[in-house]
Amino acid sequence: MCLPEVAEEVKRCCKCPLCKSRTNPVPGEGDPEAEVAFVGEAPGKEEDLEGRPFVGRAGRLLRSAIEELGFERYYITNAVKCRPPGNRTPFQSEVEACKPHLVRELLCVKPRLVVALGRTAARALLGFDAPIKELRGKMLPAKLGRAELKVLVTYHPAAVLRNPRLKDEFLRDLRKAYEVAYKQTSLARFVGKDEARKGSGGEGEEEEGAD
């Protein structure tokens, strides 16, 4: 199973109550061979209307930073693929219900590095909860199903919009992600495509809000 199949699965999914309130499900998008995958929290209003991730204000901030820093091939997705009503933080039960989709996306893309944007994404990827200030800027190992990941945690761009003083650290973290993804060539990609096709079998919040 790879990205088009995962997207179809997301579009048909009703594994949590968010499928009843969404306008559109929002699968990830980007280069299927990306070096870096960015994982946010959940779609916001504009993403819900368009069915695409990171197309609102926070998304534009992220995309412009990614482009300015020179990331060539990247993938963008969220821990939860349907908008929580009123942009509330997704419940942990919703994150867990949606995690198999996230795992399958990452198994398809096989990025060198995953950037967790905010606490919800970090928790979904790392499997434990901690304040974002304790995690940001750190490179942490994670295992999602059969996927072994290198995860760099930073702020969600929505948090940066609310508090512009975070922007310097946010950009510093993205620069670090660039260095790791493109200059540290010893970092191995983590799984074979065959595993992605089999599906994950995977086990499968400041603040940032929706993307």
Task: Enumerate binding residues for ligand SF4 (CB under 6 A).
Answer: 10, 13-16, 18-19, 25, 80-82, 94, 97-98, 101
Least distance (Å) between residue 8 CB and ligand SF4? 11
Location of structure tokens 């990941």: 149
Q: Is the four-CA dihedral 121, 69, 136, 151 of positive or negative sign?
A: positive
Beta carbon nearer to ligand SF4, 18 or 116: 18
- Token pair of 154, please? 């930073």
Least distance (Å) between residue 175 CB and ligand SF4? 31
Q: Is the four-CA dihedral 44, 48, 51, 57 of positive or negative sign?
A: negative
Beta carbon nearer to ligand SF4, 15 or 60: 15
Q: How many CB atoms lie within 10 A of CB 189?
A: 13
Least distance (Å) between residue 25 CB and ligand SF4? 5
Per DSSP, 185 falls in state: T
Beta carbon nearer to ligand SF4, 6 or 166: 6
Measured torsion, CA atoms of residues 96, 102, 106, 107, in degrees rounded to the nearest 10: 70
Least distance (Å) between residue 115 CB and ligand SF4? 20
Q: How far is CA 49 from the centre of its chain?
A: 19
Least distance (Å) between residue 160 CB and ligand SF4? 24
Beta carbon nearer to ligand SF4, 101 or 150: 101
Least distance (Å) between residue 41 CB and ligand SF4? 11
Contact between 176 and 137 under an 8 Å Cβ cutoff? The reply is yes
Location of structure tokens 């109550």: 17
Residue 193, strand partner residues = none
**β-bridge pairing 113-117 and 147-154:** parallel
Beta carbon nearer to ligand SF4, 26 or 37: 26
Beta carbon nearer to ligand SF4, 51 or 157: 51
